């Protein structure tokens, strides 16, 4: 199993490369499944919710920076950005 491919099936998650807060997450596998489900999932969800809300409350606008985003080299475990330049406005 290639872990970086999790939640990236376009038949299950339309436009999997887009960050979508309104995405239906009922079938995502970020925290595992069944008996292998992560015990820390509720804490991780709460931390993410509090952190993201605090971040969004602090800035009135978030815009792409001038430099392009640089994707990280995919590994079997990690998939994301090496850099993601943003302009944050109060």
pLDDT single digits (tens) 21-52: 888 888 888 888 899 999 999 999 999 999 99
Q: Kindly give, in sequence order, each residue whose CB lies less than 8 Å from that of residue 4, ignoring residues fewer than 6 positions away.
A: 74, 75, 76, 77, 78, 79
pLDDT of residue 29: 85
86-89/61-64 β-pairing: antiparallel
In tens, the pLDDT along 66-82 reads 999 998 877 777 778 88
């Amino acid at each position: 199993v290639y872990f970086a491919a999790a939640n990236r099936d376009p038949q299950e998650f339309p436009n999997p490369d887009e960050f979508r807060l309104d995405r239906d997450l009922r079938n995502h596998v970020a925290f595992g499944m069944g008996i292998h489900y992560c015990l820390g999932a509720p804490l991780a969800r709460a931390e993410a919710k509090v952190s993201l809300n605090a971040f969004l409350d602090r800035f009135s606008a978030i815009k792409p920076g001038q430099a392009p985003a640089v994707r990280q080299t995919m590994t079997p475990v990690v998939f994301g950005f090496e850099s993601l330049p943003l302009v944050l406005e109060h």
